[in-house]
Structure 1
């Protein structure tokens, strides 16, 4: 992933706006800052999780399984919930299974039907990772009180509702 470290100044954006009349300087600046922070958050989350031998993809699979009452799900449901292809999910599950954090459970009457189950070792891994993650997340967000966090969520929802404009 390309990470833009050098965000453009208002002067640079002004030059773009002179050339491209549709350029809204404040919208561009806000968007680029949001993208920069999102990228930094993702990199920081990977750094946090790597201290526990995980990266985001595998961690999210463990989280998704833990959310289920039965601690099980199908690979296709996990892929849909994680927003990845089924092939990508297969790779994530393979790695987690090799580490003993999940297991595949095959139906007795149909070996093609498989569930993925969070193992005791997978739950133990989460029981170590999650307190550290929550502590670090609390520190990351400490500059925002509850009101500002609510406002941030509302603003992010507004931005999210406009994302379709980039994909049309």
Structure 2
């Protein structure tokens, strides 16, 4: 899927402004983005194709790259890597006493058990998590968020939400729930397991 990611548009050709094509002028507020220009060019070159998927997913890709930058910025401010935040956030969301088994963390963060063991070791070395004997299985362990880990993930999450709020600031507040609903409907097909 062709996307118009920041800094990678590489758009060439004579049609580079908002005057291209009648389709572009129909957008809300007459705002034209790089995806509009790409779609207009493809519509001229390949009028036989339905370009609606390109209009949706090129923008999703572009926004995802901006979001990735916002995540890295927020986490760097708190000396966290993305994977560290993911593990700490899974523990934080679990609620008191903020602990999970390594297996549950594997499921929550979609990594292998070997990768998770390494990540727990590194977080434990930084004083952000602790291992404890499982109360339900004397041979098992649970991973628990420390006070320092909770403070770190809470601060990083607060800053991440501030970055994300700024990304939404040009979208009318009344439109945001509708956008969330549409995105939920689109993503559900990938989140739900196939019926057996």
Q: 1:35-57 CA distances to partner (integer Å, 9 max, x unpaired)?
A: 12112211221122111111222
Which residue in the other structure is 2:62 paired with? 36
**Unaligned stretches of 5+ residues in structure 1:** none
Is it true that 1:123 corresponds to 2:150 in the alignment? yes
Which residue in the other structure is 2:52 paired with? 26
Q: 1:46-74 CA distances to partner (integer Å, 9 max, x unpaired)?
A: 12211111122211211111122221101
Is it true that 1:140 corresponds to 2:173 in the alignment? no
CA contact (8 A) 1:58 1:93 kept: no
Aligned residue among 46, 71, 88 for 1:62: 88
- Relative distance call for 1:43 and 1:86 in structure 2 (3 A) is farther
Aligned residue among 8, 13, 17 for 2:42: 13
**Unaligned stretches of 5+ residues in structure 2:** 10-34, 192-196
**RMSD of aligned alpha carbons:** 2.8
Which residue in the other structure is 1:53 paired with? 79
CA contact (8 A) 2:67 2:164 kept: no
TM-score by length of 2: 0.68
More RCO (CA 8 Å, sep 6+): 2
Structure 1 or 2, whichever has the larger Rg, is 2
How many residue pairs get matched? 158
Q: Distance in 2 between matches of 1:86 and 1:17?
A: 47
Q: Distance in 2 between matches of 1:100 and 1:16?
A: 58
Task: Please identify, of 56-65 and 126-135, the stretch whose mean Cα deviation from structure 2 is larger.
Answer: 126-135
Q: Distance in 2 between matches of 1:70 and 1:145?
A: 38
TM-score by length of 1: 0.78
